[in-house]
Structure 1
């Protein structure tokens, strides 16, 4: 007993009160000792016990996890931060970072004089998250970081058994706290998040002023999806020039929930071949209030995604010049001549900052090497039915300094139509689009192409997307994949080292959806309430291949759902309707009557056959007779897993109609119906297995602690070990 008392008192003297003992009234989110280290402590903390034993356990934790502190006045970071992001709308929390092959270093700048919390998770909450809490002591200016995690079923922070974050420096002024720290990408600690190529939900929170070492309820918090491992965002090139391809004051009617707008642009008149090397979005959306557009800092833009297409040559230059002077057209009502604008050169979606191409590739621009005319297609998702004046578009960066290779973009995946169905109430439902060997045999050169980056695109219910590569009867490692897809953050992904793709190879775009929040089936289409499954593939050398898609043949599709015949139309006619544009429900902007009817729900514009599905009335079999197909689809017993699994398997592994489009809108290969390719699937996509023993991975120190601190740390370790033995002995 005397020894225990002596050790405890010594611990108080050495601790410096960086994490104070539990107080009389425990705030809801105050940091307890790690419950996995002592079950009795967990019981005491859960019931809010306020006795000496609880205080002793907290003090033991403070000694055991005490870390070196640094004098920020004598230390300045020499790192060059490769990336910088505002985590909140106001810029009160700014995260900067740079990574190596094995570790990542952060600089967190927050508008608080209390603690600041940073977290990493696959979900947008603290449950199961990897958390780090940092603060600067108000008394001595010393900084501290604490490695924590969120329990699986609680939104609170619990200290980790092993501390894997290393403090570099930290300081605070009258308004802000700034802390730098680092960690391994994979700490081999089960309580830490493995930082990899997938999108990460980056959590943040700010504590009230004076909350040094305590975790009372935060005053602000939020999350932002980010990919932390990505190349530098913009090259340092003084030769870069800009070309703004943007709309000019398009009035988005408040009855259009989904709107596609297309406009033709003429490329800059360049004396010689130039290369487009990057692009970034220009978002300029102004809500119309009281008849006038207004600038609002926090107003959300309805721009969902934008694609810039290169138009094939047309001898009638005069009419194209006239179109370039005009305002554009509602998507389904655009002139048929625009069908030659099918080769994408830039694809932007929500959350993306744009893309700068690898240093060895560029996309030719202008008539000397590329195209003269381009078509901008803007998709507006206006489910809130606001009236908006929009002048958004894409800023193209180009240069006369030519890169080594001429590159191009290829669109692949599932053809956008209502024949793409995701049943409701499913946690993991897969669909697939095929770019088949018949197309690549015809369109890919003998020496092959090299894939350098991929933009994976779907809508809100998608959770995973992968681009698979099949050669012969074997699947190769994935070209690109996203296992934590977030529609709010769609950034292109560099393929490290490039991927060689040869004649006869197959690309398969696979999407996995979580439709548990939906009560009715989700159909493919352009609306944000519908779904897509696409890959935009950047490659070199450029070819005439613009698109390579597939969809389920109509007959097989409807038979999968038990339907054999409709009134007034046969299956071949139905298929032809889906392959044409005649199923578009609203070929023009809404009339006054349509506006009146749509005030509440809004029209979905180019619905890709959803309206046609509502009109198809079933004739056979008798048990479904006189129902529309959409009604039949929504009445199916989707809670029966055997039914859903069979439908998924039939549509995934069954027949696929493949399309191979050239840049002039002609067929690169005949439309074909083929079986799903037969190949040996990849069982593990990791290039190498990592052996982890789930313990601390210590980082080499980047600071110099004074001798007093070293002595203090040594005694802390000895005391911590002694206390742990005493606890075990009890």
Structure 2
């Protein structure tokens, strides 16, 4: 395909506009005949389609507030579409399109309406830098600002970006002929904005341990979670994990979706060997005691480095010898017979760093006491880590948070953890308003956050239950919900869980009130479980609004738990909702 211009044609244009466009075509042709621009490093990359025929690489300029993108198409036919939308929808998407009319080829900034129909954007914000055929396919290099102030454009910000793509298999006389619902498309998720800090050097005595799947035959089904138990060497002394990275079997880059390594509970002495589906009802029950996250990777993630002063403990007294690898295979093409030995490579050192790193759970307790009404476009739940808990459990100098892993289930749409000090929001620890449960990776903070004794941490999750006719309660099931932020920090403390839930006594008052409001004099409050009480309610807008008010005002129970799962000494029930008198303004982006 030969690139000739940025096609800026619009409907009902004048002859003068065509004349200007022709002049622009000449300028663009001349620019492509000029020497290629200096080669930019592209440190981030991800395969977009299951075959791996379409790959996106990118770099970030925080100084210029721009993203440089390079799209490689292995076998270009008549064009390609790349775009961004709120949750990967083909409708109301911000697009860049490369297409041909049968005679000439064009590149332009476009958008799709609520039916997937594509139109050229009147404001062209994608700047084409280079287009050429290379030995491995067709390469397209372009850039775009984070913010364009065009209402039809996507704001590139911290958190998950849903990338949509499509292939054009026939020429288009005009871009107006394109409807995304009629071409082959797909979606991929990435963290586009990454910290630009250099990676710390590894110690000279660093060793590696590969926790990998044992030559697994990937099932020919769309989704598989594969579990594998691996034992550490006998009597392994305490080491610090200082870095980890993915190890992907060549050819499987587009199928291995994400992976996690969990340490089993030290209270479980022996965990049996296992390699099989994580969902197999016949799997050993002891696998359920392997929940302490050591490493997490998702497609597109880079190697994860610990700060120079800290490392994650592995081995030694008080730890488990057993690790559980969990690999998510995404195989929408139902490929059969593909073998895989992917996993995570742990880089560890016997030379211990100054601090042990730790992981702390923030958010909501896993309980059906917290629920989301059905048919909700937007519903919020908040979990609290109170000043009383941090005052009790943190050292005088506090802790330093350097990364976090957000978590909800299918109804989750956003997660935000904010640090509150003296009643004022001080900084956002982590936020993702385009969150997807299908893309969960450990995210390095752009700047470490210092949490001091007496600080408050509020984790607020956003949910959508428009497609559900019954309430969604908290719990472990995928159709139940969670609201969690696993923060990675140092120095490690005994505080492992700092979460909350509304007081059950006040929830029972809510059930009684709503039932009486709807004319149901006989309340089953206390006679059946909370899940059943939620399901028996008559759900309408009023019931949802009152529940939202209850969650935001009623006293709550605080779980300020030690690593032994015991509460820290103190009274933790009937805690008041933290008072926040000043909130942070949303970041503004220059146009």
TM-score range, shorter chain: 0.7 to 0.9
Q: Residue 122 and residue 280 in structure 1: after superposition, are their counterparts in 2 closer, same or farther (change >3 A)? A: same
| Residues 1:208 and 2:169 aligned together | yes
Q: Give the structure with the higher percent helix.
A: 1
TM-aligned CA deviation for residue 359 of structure 1: 4.2
Structure 2: how far apart are the matches of 1:86 and 1:297? 7
Q: Is the 8 A contact 1:275 1:402 kept in 2?
A: no
Q: Residue 474 and residue 259 in structure 1: after superposition, are their counterparts in 2 closer, same or farther (change >3 A)? A: same
2:360: which partner in 1? 410
1:119: which partner in 2? 83
Of 362, 365, 373 in structure 1, the residue corresponding to residue 313 of structure 2 is: 365
Structure 1: how far apart are the matches of 2:339 and 2:386? 39
| Residues 1:507 and 2:507 aligned together | no
2:375: which partner in 1? 425
1:148: which partner in 2? 110
Tell which has more relative contact order, 1 or 2 (C-alpha 8 A, sep 6+).
Answer: 1
Of 474, 481, 489 in structure 2, the residue corresponding to residue 524 of structure 1 is: 474
SS at match of 2:568: strand
Structure 2: how far apart are the matches of 1:622 and 1:185? 56
TM-aligned CA deviation for residue 647 of structure 1: 0.7
Structure 1, gaps ≥5 residues long: 1-15, 21-30, 36-40, 42-53, 285-294, 566-619, 693-730
TM-aligned CA deviation for residue 159 of structure 1: 2.1
Structure 2: how far apart are the matches of 1:482 and 1:644? 24
Residues 555-605 of structure 1, C-alpha deviations (whole Å, 9 max, x = no match): 22233222899xxxxxxxxxxxxxxxxxxxxxxxxxxxxxxxxxxxxxxxx
| Residues 1:399 and 2:362 aligned together | no
Structure 2: how far apart are the matches of 1:469 and 1:283? 41
Q: Is the 8 A contact 1:477 1:682 kept in 2?
A: no
1:451: which partner in 2? 401
Q: Residue 506 and residue 175 in structure 1: after superposition, are their counterparts in 2 closer, same or farther (change >3 A)? A: closer
Q: Is the 8 A contact 1:198 1:483 kept in 2?
A: yes
TM-aligned CA deviation for residue 258 of structure 1: 12
Question: Would you say how many aligned residue pairs link Structure 1 and Structure 2?
Answer: 562
Structure 2: how far apart are the matches of 1:546 and 1:633? 30
Structure 2: how far apart are the matches of 1:250 and 1:621? 58
SS at match of 1:427: coil
TM-aligned CA deviation for residue 190 of structure 1: 3.3
1:278: which partner in 2? 244
Structure 2: how far apart are the matches of 1:246 and 1:345? 14
Structure 2: how far apart are the matches of 1:492 and 1:172? 36
Q: Is the 8 A contact 1:121 1:129 kept in 2?
A: yes
TM-aligned CA deviation for residue 357 of structure 1: 2.8
1:473: which partner in 2? 423
Q: Is the 8 A contact 2:255 2:329 kept in 1?
A: no
2:505: which partner in 1? 555
2:555: which partner in 1? 655
Q: Residue 17 and residue 380 in structure 1: after superposition, are their counterparts in 2 closer, same or farther (change >3 A)? A: closer
SS at match of 1:672: coil
**RMSD value, Cα:** 4.6
Structure 2: how far apart are the matches of 1:77 and 1:458? 42
Structure 2: how far apart are the matches of 1:564 and 1:184? 50
Q: Residue 645 and residue 100 in structure 1: after superposition, are their counterparts in 2 closer, same or farther (change >3 A)? A: same
Of 518, 524, 542 in structure 2, the residue corresponding to residue 642 of structure 1 is: 542
TM-aligned CA deviation for residue 170 of structure 1: 0.6
Correspondence list, 1:611-690, <5 A: 622=522, 624=524, 630-638=531-539, 640-670=540-570, 672-673=572-573, 674-686=575-587, 689-690=588-589
Q: Is the 8 A contact 2:415 2:431 kept in 1?
A: yes
Q: Is the 8 A contact 1:98 1:104 kept in 2?
A: yes
Residues 333-367 of structure 1, C-alpha deviations (whole Å, 9 max, x = no match): 8579x97x77543356x767486034425434344
Higher mean C-alpha deviation, range 272-281 or range 435-444: 272-281
Of 53, 69, 77 in structure 2, the residue corresponding to residue 106 of structure 1 is: 69
Q: Residue 282 and residue 109 in structure 1: after superposition, are their counterparts in 2 closer, same or farther (change >3 A)? A: closer
Structure 2: how far apart are the matches of 1:136 and 1:273? 57
Structure 1: how far apart are the matches of 2:162 and 2:68? 17
Q: Give the structure with the higher percent strand.
A: 2
Structure 2: how far apart are the matches of 1:522 and 1:409? 28
Q: Is the 8 A contact 1:144 1:167 kept in 2?
A: no
Structure 1: how far apart are the matches of 2:481 and 2:296? 17
TM-aligned CA deviation for residue 377 of structure 1: 8.1
Structure 1: how far apart are the matches of 2:584 and 2:214? 50
Q: Is the 8 A contact 1:267 1:366 kept in 2?
A: no
Correspondence list, 1:233-272, <5 A: 241-245=207-211, 265-266=231-232, 270=236
Residues 617-642 of structure 1, C-alpha deviations (whole Å, 9 max, x = no match): xxx9625588876455234332x323
Of 45, 48, 51 in structure 2, the residue corresponding to residue 90 of structure 1 is: 51
1:288: which partner in 2? none
TM-score, structure 1 as length reference: 0.66
Q: Residue 268 and residue 135 in structure 1: after superposition, are their counterparts in 2 closer, same or farther (change >3 A)? A: farther
TM-aligned CA deviation for residue 421 of structure 1: 1.0
1:190: which partner in 2? 151
Q: Is the 8 A contact 1:125 1:155 kept in 2?
A: no
| Residues 1:68 and 2:33 aligned together | no
1:605: which partner in 2? none
TM-aligned CA deviation for residue 81 of structure 1: 0.7
2:295: which partner in 1? 346
| Residues 1:59 and 2:18 aligned together | yes
Structure 2: how far apart are the matches of 1:175 and 1:562? 67
Q: Residue 454 and residue 297 in structure 1: after superposition, are their counterparts in 2 closer, same or farther (change >3 A)? A: closer
